[in-house]
Amino acid sequence: MAVMSQRVAGFGTTIFADINALAAKHGAVNLGQGAPDFDGPPQVLAAAVTAVNGALNQYAPGIGMAPVRQAIAQHAERFYQQRLNPDTDVLVTSGATEAMFAAILGLADAGDEVIVFEPVYDTYVPNLIMAGVTPRYVALRGEDWSFDPDELAKAFNRRTKAIVVNTPHNPTGKVFSRAELRVIAELCQKHDVIAITDEVYEHILYDHASHVRLATLPGMAERTLTISSLGKTFSVTGWKIGWAVGAAPLVHAVNQAHQFITFAVSSPLQAAAATALNLPFSFFDNLQSSYQARRDRLLPVLRAAGFKVFKPQGSYFIMIDWRGVAPSYVEDDMQFARWLIEAVGVACIPASPFYQDCDKQLGKYFARFAVCKKDETLDAAAERFAKLGKL
Ligand code: PMP
Ligand code: GLN
């Protein structure tokens, strides 16, 4: 009996699981998966404990607990002057991951097309495939990972239902500029297309880069669904509390799917999310400066190791080109990641899993390092890299 459905049979194992297993086996310093090796703010952790002890342990309302929806709406107003009705325009989900899948299921029909930028975060395309939706890829290229506006314009057609925009971007660290977002906004309006944005790294920005929320551009409020989550901003990636916000009809459509996927999301962690989102501006400022310091600690290490570095403007990540660093028998990014773990003792994520099969060669010389690590972890990686010249 063929047990596996055809829908999922073509999926490999997520690269994060593969690299974590290999890194553990070889005792490598793990700069692969984007998960902090430090804890979130103590008052946020305490709020979760208080909620567990305070009998907040039964099902939450499917759309999310009222104080959390209010906190999400207030956060949007505080940072982006985006006005949201917490009762109709906010949905709490099991992380940004579920928000994206529920959005695709709730907004696109089988046979529709959805545009994604490549390299593309690894869950979107499997989500589209499971929904019977066809992905259309538009390349991000060059030093600043920019897209060709003509190529983007050509990707829109009668079947296009939505475009997914991830900014700050995983894996490249690109932050889409206001001008780039304007181009996207104009095309969405011209072709009557929905924008789904993934803004999980909205507060992790470098060198005074600013994050622009596509939903706040003229004409975009009614056609943009904004997704974000608690994990990155509050260093609690294991909590899986996320949200989708936007005009009521969009959010209602997403909830149509959400109610039959998870029904509701962890109550005590939602309660703690309200505490987190209401933290003062100083918390968010400190977060940025601590990430700036982490990135600035790792950048020179990677450069000294001989890598060509793509300086990120945001996100947890630094992309590099590894040519000239690995021995000549290393032919692609997958072999490079394996070699780096086994011979140097540092784990990274190869870039090709972020490319579709026919474009894998575009990611062949790239790999991604995570900066969301303690100083001592980054320094341990630096020590291992110092061995490079002597291998
Ligand atoms: N989107 C992007 C771009 C990500 O890098 C990640 C990784 N954490 C997620 C979504 C997943 O977010 P969550 O853990 O909230 O599901
Ligand atoms: N988003 C994280 C990353 O890109 C990992 C999430 C996961 O393990 N699926 O590293």
CA neighbor of 31 nearest in space, from 379, 369, 376: 369
CA neighbor of 266 nearest in space, from 62, 85, 35, 66: 62
Q: Is the pTM of this model over 0.95?
A: yes
> What are the residues whose beta carbons fall under 8 Å from the beta carbon of 93, sequence distance 6 or more?
99, 102, 227, 242, 243, 244, 258, 262, 265
Instruction: Tell me which ligand sits closest to the C-alpha of residue 230.
Output: 1
- Crossing angle of helices 66-80 and 267-277, in 10° steps, is 30
Q: How far apart are CA 73 and CA 63, in angstroms?
A: 13
Q: What is the mean pLDDT of the chain?
A: 97
Residue 68 shares a structural domain with residue 152? yes
The CATH code of the domain that includes 350 is 3.90.1150.10
Q: Of 11, 15, 16, 120, which is best to mutate to test ligand 2, by the most ligand atoms within 8 angstroms of its C-beta?
A: 16
Q: How many domains does the chain have?
A: 2
Tell me what the mean pLDDT of segment 332-337 comes to: 98
Token pair of 295 as six digits:
């990135």
Residue 253 shares a structural domain with residue 305? no
> Which atom of ligand 1 lies closest to the CA of 241?
15
Cα–Cα–Cα angle for 56, 60, 64, rounded to 5 degrees: 125
The per-residue pLDDT for 265 is 97
pLDDT in tens, 56-108: 999 999 999 999 999 999 999 999 999 999 999 999 999 999 999 999 999 99
Instruction: Tell me which ligand sits closest to the C-alpha of residue 198.
Output: 1
The per-residue pLDDT for 391 is 55
Residue 1 domain-assigned? no
Contact 321, 334 (CB under 8 A): no
Residue 145 domain-assigned? yes
Q: How far is CA 7 from the centre of its chain?
A: 24
> Which atom of ligand 1 lies closest to the CA of 98?
16
Tell me what the mean pLDDT of segment 329-355 comes to: 97
The rounded radius of gyration (Å) of the Cα atoms in the chain is 21
Q: How far apart are CA 56 and CA 54, in angstroms?
A: 6
- Write down how long the chain is: 391
Q: How far apart are CA 246 and CA 216, in angstroms?
A: 10
Contact 100, 198 (CB under 8 A): yes
The per-residue pLDDT for 187 is 98
Contact 245, 72 (CB under 8 A): yes
Residue 232 shares a structural domain with residue 324? no
Task: Quote the ligand 2 centre to 171 CA distance (angstroms).
Answer: 10
Can you tell me whether residue 166 is helix, strand or coil? strand
Residue 300 shares a structural domain with residue 262? no
Q: Which domain range does residue 345 map to?
A: 6-40+282-390
Task: Quote the ligand 1 centre to 207 CA distance (angstroms).
Answer: 23
